[in-house]
Structure 1
Amino acid sequence: MLTRLTDADVQQSRQSLSDHLSQWLGWTDAIALSAALNTSPPVIAPGARMFSSAEERECARVRNTLADAIASDTAATAAKRIAPGQAPVKKPAALAEADADYSNFRQRYLSLQHTMETSIGNLRSRLRGMVAAKNGEMTRLAVVDAIMDRALLPKERALLGAIPKLLQAHFERLRKAEEAALAQAAADAEAQPADAESAVDAEEPAGADAAAQAAAPAVGITPGAWLDTFRADMRSVLLAELDVRLQPVEGLLATLRAS
């Protein structure tokens, strides 16, 4: 999706998952993983909360809440704020389109990322505790998940944190494309009266047809449509990121259902 929106030429990686992990994990992480896989799992104190349909509902609630936050936030107008006492010199609709400031979108994207990381992280920790309470092998799996979570979090933040910068280029490209289209439409509209008059003056059989074609209105371009397009694209990227962030949670859920 990001490749399509940013026109980036990204080649598909030929490295395996294990090769990627070897680059992302430090030597301390490797030692911790080795210990978790080759030693007896820790003993979990009795009384841990067991998995039930309540956790299924909680996972669905977290997903829906985050998806709703993304939908409502990206639908809001992100125009430059007007200082107190300063009267706008444009109509509100024109102001939202012409003065759209990407810094507002970037701030909201980062805020939503923080909300996703916090909410999903808490949910993942909760499910991990339930996995650990099952039995020895499940406890080992929970320990591995905790190590991977801690080890990969910095890389995850770096990769996902680069998305707002990529979207900024898409934002500017959409704005400039509409500006160019509107300028071309205005130039064509100015040229139409002269073309129509020339066609009428020319005493040729095709003169009337040429005049009609010249006088025909150009295909309408709605000012500000680029901003709606960008909001929709930003929403799609955020929802895709939400799905990626929820993958470890889905894995823990599948483990709990099968156990």
Structure 2
Amino acid sequence: MARESRRTPLTGSAFIRSLAALSNVHAPASQDDFAQRVTQWFGWTHTFALSAALSDAPSPATEPGAAVRASADTDERECARVRAGLVALVTRTAAAAEPSADFTVHRRRYIACQQAMESQISPLRRRLRASLANGSPAQAKLAKLDSVMEEVIGAQERMLLTTVPGLLQPRFDQLRRAQGPAVQGDAAPQAPSPAGPWLDTFLQDMRALLLAELDLRLQAVEGLLAANRTPSSDRHE
């Protein structure tokens, strides 16, 4: 099954594997080629923008000076700061001082983490693109490509990620039922089971899923950061 998951970036991601583990199923191999599915997300305006980014031929960049190198170092530190801050937020969320047996509470907490990721990662991505635009011709082209891809794939990603908090509820209910019914009989009202080991397990699962989602959201940032680390001797085409 591991061999199949490497056939496509989607099934091979830690995020998808985490979702599959929550539902106790294997992540299936995609039936369509990933590139083919991406083309279905492009409108004609996106196609023109992508074509312009691919065909653009910027003038050769000069050797980076101290200011450019200092900017790259600053970007590196900012990326590390944002990641560390979001990891800390996820950890605090999963270790809430007031654990609740009401799933709605955890859903709200998950969504709050997603909103924090979006509000901090998007500006960071734009910042890295601006830095790359001042680099080599290849780096400037990558910055333009990433802008187009964020507009197209980013919209799809955001739409899909909004469904994730709801996908946690079956796992929450499963763990709560496994502890034992709070009341007897199918006709009896379903009162939440008190907090206990089952809730600790759920919070650990939620933390793992949030961290996997954070890694997914940071993939483009990591790619731009890696491009920004290109040695100065390679900054000319």
Q: 1:13-69, CA deviations, whole angstroms, 9 ceiling, x for partnerless residues?
A: 04333112112222221221012112344999xx9x733322212111110100000
1:134 is aligned to 2:151:
no
Check whether the contact 2:72–2:229 (CA below 8 A) recurs between aligned residues.
no
- Residue 226 of structure 2 corresponds to 254
The CA deviation string for residues 115-163 of structure 1, in whole angstroms up to 9 with x for no partner, is 1011111111111100010133322211111111111122111211111
- Runs of 4+ more than 6 Å apart: none
- After superposition, the C-alpha distances for 1:67-117 in whole angstroms (9 at most, x for unaligned) are 0000011110555xxxxxxxxxxxxxxxx5xxx111111111111101101
| Structure 1 residues 42 and 32, CA gap change in structure 2 (3 angstroms) | farther
Aligned residue runs from structure 1 range 65-214, under 5 A: 65-77=85-97, 96=100, 100-180=101-181
| Residue pair 2:72, 2:131 contacting (<8 A) in 1 also | no
Aligned-partner Cα distance in 1 for 2:25–2:218: 26
Does structure 2 conserve the Cα–Cα contact (< 8 Å) formed by 1:78 and 1:104? no
Matched, 1:30 2:47: yes
Q: In the superposition, relative to structure 1, how do residues 173 and 78 fare at CA in structure 2: closer, same or farther (>3 Å)?
A: farther
Q: TM-score, length-normalised on structure 1?
A: 0.70
Distance of 1:42 and 1:125 partners within structure 2: 22
Distance 1:235 1:252 in 2: 26
Match of 1:244 among 216, 219, 231: 216
CA contact (8 A) 1:42 1:139 kept: no
* CA deviation map 1:155-193 (0-9, x unaligned): 11121111111101111111111115998xxxxxxxxxx
Instruction: Return the offset for 1:9.
Output: 5.8
Change (3 A) 1:61 1:223: closer
Which amino acid letter does the alignment assign opposite residue 143 of structure 1? Answer: K
Structure exhibiting the larger radius of gyration computed from Cα positions: 1
- Unmatched 5+ residue regions in structure 1? 80-95, 184-221
Contact residue 174 and residue 226 of structure 1 kept, 8 A? yes
The amino acid that maps onto 2:178 is: A
Which consecutive unaligned segments of at least 5 residues does structure 2 have?
Answer: 1-17, 185-193, 232-237
Is residue 2:72 matched to residue 1:55?
Answer: no
Q: Does 1:233 align with 2:205?
A: yes
Specify the SS of the correspondent of 2:135: coil
Displacement of 1:223 after TM fit? 6.6
Q: Aligned partners of 1:54 and 1:148: how far apart in 2?
A: 25
Deviates more, 1:57-66 or 1:18-27: 18-27
Task: Tell me if structure 1 keeps the 8 A contact 2:139–2:228.
Answer: no
Which among 203, 219, 224 is matched to residue 196 of structure 2? 224
8 A Cα contact 2:90 2:113, kept in partner: yes
1:227-258 deviation line (CA, Å, top 9, x unaligned): 00000000000000011111111101111111
Measure, in 2, the Cα distance between the counterparts of 1:114 and 1:41.
Answer: 36
RMSD: 2.6
Paired residues of 2:130 and 2:143 also in contact (CA < 8 A)? yes
CA pair 177-120 structure 1, distance change in 2 beyond 3 A:
same
Identity percentage over the alignment?
42
Q: Kindly state the Cα deviation for residue 8 of structure 1 after the two structures are TM-superposed.
A: 4.5
Counterpart-to-counterpart distance in 2, 1:179 and 1:77 = 24
User: Counterpart in 1 of 2:187?
Assistant: none
Residue of structure 2 equivalent to 1:191: none
Q: For 1:233 and 1:11, how far apart are their aligned partners in 2?
A: 21
